[in-house]
Structure 1
Amino acid sequence: MANVEYQNSFILILICLFSTFYFFFVYFFKKPKNVFDLPPSPPSLPIIGHLHLFFSTSIHKSFQKISSKYGSFLHLRIFSLPFVLVSSPSVVYEIFKDHDKNVSSRGAVGFDECIVFGSSGFTISPYGDYWKYIKKLIFTTTLGPQALERSRGVRGVEAERFYRNLVDKAMKKESVEMGEEALRFVNNSLGGMSMGRCFTEENNESKLSKFTVEFASLILKIFLAQMLRSPLEKIGISPFKKEVMDASNRFEELLEGIIVKYEEKVDEHEGAEIMDKLLAASRGENAEYKITRKNVKAIFAELFFGAGDTSSTTTQWAMAELINNPKIFERLREEIDSVVGKKRLIQETDLPKLPYLRAVIKESLRLHPPGVLLPRQFEQGCKVGGFYIRKGTTLIINAYAMMRDPAYWRDPDEFKPERFLGQEEEKRENILKFLPFGVGRRACPGSNLANILIGTAVGVMVQFFD
């Protein structure tokens, strides 16, 4: 009897070993269809493929190094999951010229419940009715040209407040943290545009700014969770979830409190069109698309995080580059003085008359893009650059590498705003080489607002910097 039990146990062990081997073989070693038509691939490790390349504090720089060595259009693999890494402006042009709708999805969500970049938000949501409805609503109420014109007075008030804060610190001989001051200006502007007076009255700016900074430190982990979700779910692992969800829950609690107080004083918030329409849609009041209260909070979370972090970080980089390049700083100050004068504060209506300021901002975005990697997903198989890309393949565009490519940018690592004045860079057709806010139908809808906020913040600092 013992011998029989031993034999049964041995057979069971063999079955388990065989099953394990078969699982690894099927999921990690099976060859994809059209393997000979795939883009070239750098050497990979057994089982994990190119996974080790993702675990870096600067993934975009690691990818840039790989592309420099093996090519600007590469096929990567994490376990059995395919990725395509692109850092070629001509290939990106082809993708979005011929396959924009095919790559309109951003792929898997890292953490469904997360208030930022989760399944309830706008940024990562699939291309469909919900995404189209929210984009239309945001554009018509907040980010479109007419909406921006309606809210110009709100941003003017915040620019004055921004200036007074800087002067107050200077009078007290206190140091100025440019990133913090810019973030305060951006968040107050967004809050006033979307929620009216109650935003500043409740001192919400400082609370939201803390979460903007916290989520900026978590963005790499959220990106990794998004990229690795499918293979890790198979083995029951969800890295970083506790840390991310702890921040998410606290952020959601803050937003819920802000919305509740807004609802208590709803008659006092003239101009807060987006909040009113989102809340009405969540209650099902004559809405084109029914949304939930969590959708409302997620949209505002992504609005504050996306616009706040992007605009404040770019402002900080622009000022750092200007301080390190005093001749460029002086040229910019001379332009502002000639247009604005020295007796009043720069205004939004001045920005179109300041080409060198716009060039400084563009050059800052080129060297320090807010979105260094742009992830998408191929919904259908297709041909790109003569290679076959399978359905479900993740597309990663290395915007950082593209905007520092010496084949397309003269002296790519130098801060030279003049290149955007049309004096140095040749105009090339059939390429996309400058994409700090993404590209295609899933490009950042807030790029116009970001340029206004960054231009105003940098302009005010340059006017009164000593």
Structure 2
Amino acid sequence: MPSGYPENMWPQLQSYVQLILISLFFPILIGAILIRSRRSKSDGPPTPPSLPLIGHLHLLSPLPHRSFHNLSSRYGPILKLFLGSLPCVIASTPDAAKHFLKTHESSFSDRFPNAAIHHLSYGSQGFLFRAYGPHWKFMKKLCMTRLLEAREVVDNRDNPLTLTNRIISRMIMSRTSSGNDEEAQDIRQLVTDTTELRFNLRGVDKRVKEIQERFDALIEGVMKGHEEERRKRKEVGEGGQFRDLLYILLDIHEDENSKIKLTKHSIKAFVLDLFMAGTDTSAITTEWALAELINHPHVMEKARQEIESVIGNTRIVEESDIANLPYLQAIVKETLRIHPTAPLVGRLSNENCNVGGYEIPAKTLLFVNLWSIGRDPNYWEDPLEFRPERFMSEEGSRVDLRGQHFELISFGSGRRMCPGASLALLVVQTNLAAMIQCFDWKVNGGNQCVSMEEKPAMTLPRAHPLLCLPLPRLHPFPSTFQAD
């Protein structure tokens, strides 16, 4: 205690000082909140009061799409928020999504990678987060013409995550490894770890570096093996016969006359993008669909009857059968409506623009909330009910998933729509049909109702594993699979 003051007076002086500081600071804080709120209202979309430095981060839960949904219910279909100092807008209805992704598509053709994704993708050199331009268009064309149009049929004996991982591995680098293979397990774990780095605002931390180093070591080994294989084949005149995607990418890398120059880092980033976009997402959709079927046994039975009427029980459903299974297709649409694999579509504005009467400045982050859109009661009757029949009517059957019907844009829309939509749908529908046809699914523990809780991640996985006992239905079981 300072000298010159009675001992019993010092606690009172401390209280007075604290009271004075609070009385000075509190009006400043409230004033800053009100000034920022008024400025946001006059410049752009409605916005809740924000706090200095953190903006609206205090309003977000570990499941941001749900927080955005609740805020939009209060402030409107187009909402402005600040993630720290980063301005962003939220679009939560089909009409709002159409404004941003179609009417003003050219203004929102970029994506915003956070520091973690930027580091993992070798400085945003891949496909998913690279700025729109000649390089991005070249990679998309390569993806569509060399990867997603033609492929081999892969059996579906493994679980959904292993299955989709094997499909992507086979197309990219001619790997047909089994579920117990160490390399396949490493890839699956890397995909899972990467998708959990969603709203990573900490920057490049130790975990991000560790994930990037693991992937770099894995893909470096695969690339060296490909380079050695290519060298051997060229020596014997068989260079053109070994043509997976990685082989093509390495050819472009070595071609001095190529208009687009591919570095080793851009190849690695592109491969990582394909695994991120293709492995986890299809598996998640299949798991959500099976969970809904278990909770709605009458839908499961109706789907099974459709499959049996078209295919019978002497062979297993094939990709070519999907066109004749409209109810199965409706189940997948309904699953994606309620459980969009990527609940938020992200874009970044590259210029100032006016959207829906609101001024949106350049470098504003856009989130289109697919989770909200799929639950919009203005477009969907009883939106919280799992009811595939809504897509069996004449009007409902016309709703597709390729970006033209903004009430169901599960794969995005416009120039940055997911190029693998058709492949993903075929994989999910064929795999799910085989699971329905071949097995009865008994939930572990005897309880036939499974939890539908969501887990925070870049995608939207289930919070709890779907543990089921598959009981074979077909006797004898058709032996139509070919060994790898």
Compute the TM-score of the two structures, normalised by the length of structure 1: 0.79
The separation in 2 between residues aligned to 1:91 and 1:378, in whole angstroms, is: 15
* Aligned pair partner of 1:73 in 47, 70, 78: 78
Structure label with greater radius of gyration: 2
Q: Shift of residue 135 of structure 1? A: 0.5
2:301 to 310, 326, 330: 330
Post-superposition CA distance 1:11-45 (Å, at most 9, x none) = xxxxxxxxxxxxxx99x978998962411112222
TM-score (norm 2): 0.76
Deviation at 1:240, TM superposition (A): 5.4
Residue-by-residue CA offset, 1:365-413 (whole Å, 9 max, x unaligned): 1111111111111111111111111122111111111111112111111
Query: SS at 2:116's partner residue?
Result: coil
Which segments of 5 or more consecutive residues in structure 1 lack a partner in the other structure? Answer: 1-24, 166-180, 226-237
User: Any stretches of 5+ residues in structure 2 without a counterpart?
Assistant: 1-30, 441-484
Q: Which one is further off, 452-461 or 91-100?
A: 91-100
Larger displacement relative to structure 2 (195-204 or 100-109): 195-204
Q: What SS is found at the alignment partner of 1:265?
A: helix
Note if contact 2:411-2:421 (Cα within 8 Å) is conserved in structure 1: yes
Deviation at 1:219, TM superposition (A): 3.0
> What residue is the counterpart of 2:142 in the other structure?
137
Alignment partners' CA distance in 2, 1:91 and 1:107: 20
AA in 1 matched with 2:287:
Q
1:300 corresponds to 2:271 = yes
8 Å contact 1:109–1:119 — kept in the other structure? Answer: no
SS at structure 2 position matched to 1:114: helix
Q: Deviations over 1:306-325 (max 9, x none)?
A: 11000001111111111111
Match of 2:167 among 186, 189, 201: 189
- Tell me the amino acid that sits aligned with residue 122 of structure 1: F
Q: 2 CA distance for matches of 1:348 and 1:405?
A: 32
Partner SS for 1:412: coil
**Is the 1:410–1:425 contact (alpha carbons within 8 Å) kept by the matching residues of 2?**
no
| Aligned ranges 1:379-394 → 2 under 5 Å | 379-394=350-365
Say if 2:13 is the partner of 1:39: no
Task: Work out which of the residue numbers 287, 291, 295 in structure 2 matches 1:320.
Answer: 291
Q: How does 1:152-167 map to 2 (within 5 A)?
A: 154-155=152-153, 158-159=154-155, 162-163=156-157
Matches within 5 A, 1:119-130: 119-130=124-135
Residues 174-206 of structure 1: per-residue CA shift (max 9 Å, x gap) = xxxxxxx11111111112222225756976322
Report the Cα distance in structure 2 between the residues aligned to 1:364 and 1:426, rounded to whole angstroms.
15
| Contact kept? 2:40, 2:46, Cα under 8 Å | no
Q: Deviations over 1:214-263 (max 9, x none)?
A: 223x232xx343xxxxxxxxxxxx44522112111101211111222223
Given that residues 81 and 393 in structure 1 are in contact (C-alpha distance below 8 angstroms), is that contact kept between their aligned partners in structure 2?
A: yes
Identify the residue that residue 61 of structure 1 maps to in structure 2. Answer: 66
Is 1:210–2:186 an aligned residue pair?
no
Partner of 1:172: none
Partner of 2:258: 287
Distance (Å, rounded) in 1 between the aligned partners of 2:299 and 2:394:
16
CA–CA separation in structure 2 for the residues paired with 1:186 and 1:246: 24
Paired residue secondary structure (1:342): coil
Selected match of 1:447 from 413, 421, 431: 421
The count of residues paired between Structure 1 and Structure 2 equals 399
Distance of 1:442 and 1:124 partners within structure 2 = 10
Distance 1:341 1:263 in 2: 46
1:366 and 1:434 in contact (8 A); partners too: yes
| Greater relative contact order (Cα < 8 A, sep 6+) | 1
Which residue is 1:50 aligned to? 56
Q: Given residue 108 of structure 2, which amino acid in structure 1 is its aligned partner?
A: V
What fraction of aligned residue pairs are identical, expressed as a percent?
A: 37
Cα RMSD between the aligned structures?
Answer: 2.9
Matched with 2:110 is: 105
CA contact (8 A) 2:107 2:351 kept: yes
The CA deviation string for residues 51-102 of structure 1, in whole angstroms up to 9 with x for no partner, is 2234x21111111111112211111123443211110211211222321111
Matches within 5 A, 1:7-18: none
Change (3 A) 1:121 1:53: farther
The 2-side partners of 1:58 and 1:299 are apart by: 28
Q: Encode CA deviations 1:289-332: one digit per residue, 9 max, x unaligned.
A: 11111111111111112110000011111111111111100111
Task: Report if aligned partners of 2:109, 2:348 keep a CA contact under 8 Å in 1.
Answer: yes
1:439/1:63 Cα in 2 relative to 1: closer, same or farther (>3 Å)?
A: same
**Higher helix proportion:** 1
Matched, 1:357 2:328: yes
Change beyond 3 A, Cα 1:426–1:135:
closer
Relative to structure 2, which stretch is displaced further, 363-372 or 73-82?
73-82
Q: Secondary structure at the match of 2:366?
A: strand
